[in-house]
Amino acid sequence: MGQAAPQIELATSVGYLLKEASSALRSAMEAVLRPLGMSVTHYSCLELLAQRPGLSNSELARGAFVTRQSMNVLLQSLERDGLVTRPESPPSGRALPTELTAAGRRQLSAASAAVRGVEDRMKSGMTPEEQAQFRLLLASCVSALGSQPGAEIA
């Protein structure tokens, strides 16, 4: 009989710890965004548009890690609430470029401050040097996995 493959020790598994950190971060972000009438996806969409105005539904969906259908529903809601604008018809092709309104920028400002507080709390046990190293290490992990065949996200 063959030996069973060694099991992963959850307490020392980097992947498991990253998932725990991700879940804790998302929960803390949802908690501070909820009183502002926002979700993490809502916030992510506004933040992406502030940094890259004119993104399409597909580009926003990829950036916020949701389906195009979910993003379309969110964009319709944001447009109805006066937080974003989209042209009636695409200027070229099929994509409708989306932009923040003044109201969207105001809502984003409040949300960004709340999220920054969560991130500051998450890093509060680290020195500035450790925080810089942490960012570099996470970026290195993303880069290493993104360069592997089959690592593309559909």
Cα–Cα nearest to 49, from 75, 69, 22, 12: 75
Across the range 85-90, mean pLDDT stands at 78
- Assign 7 a pLDDT band (cuts: 50, 70, 90): confident
Across the chain, where does the E strand assignment appear? 84-85, 99-100
Query: DSSP string of 130-144?
Result: HHHHHHHHHHHHHHH
Q: How far apart are CA 9 and CA 16, in angstroms?
A: 9
Q: Which pLDDT belongs to residue 88?
A: 78
Who's near 149: CB < 8 A, 6+ residues apart?
none
Does pLDDT of 140 surpass 90?
yes
Quick check: helix, strand or coil at residue 118? helix
How buried is residue 44: exposed, middle or buried, by Cβ count under 10 Å (0-12/13-18/19+)? buried
Across the range 76-96, mean pLDDT stands at 83
Q: What is the pLDDT of residues 95-139, one digit of tens each?
A: 778 999 999 999 999 999 999 999 999 999 999 999 999 999 999
Q: Which pLDDT belongs to residue 154?
A: 36
How buried is residue 110: exposed, middle or buried, by Cβ count under 10 Å (0-12/13-18/19+)? middle
Q: What is the maximum span of the chain, computed from C-alpha positions, in angstroms?
A: 68
Residue 122, token pair as written in the block? 């998450």
Q: Which pLDDT belongs to residue 129?
A: 97
Who's near 8: CB < 8 A, 6+ residues apart?
15, 16
Q: Which pLDDT belongs to residue 94?
A: 66
Which domains does the chain show, CATH number per domain? 21-146 (1.10.10.10)
- Assign 152 a pLDDT band (cuts: 50, 70, 90): very low
pTM across the whole model: 0.81
Q: What is the pLDDT of residues 19-72, one digit of tens each?
A: 999 999 999 999 999 999 999 999 999 999 999 998 988 999 999 999 999 999
Helix axes 57-64, 40-51, angle to 10 degrees: 120
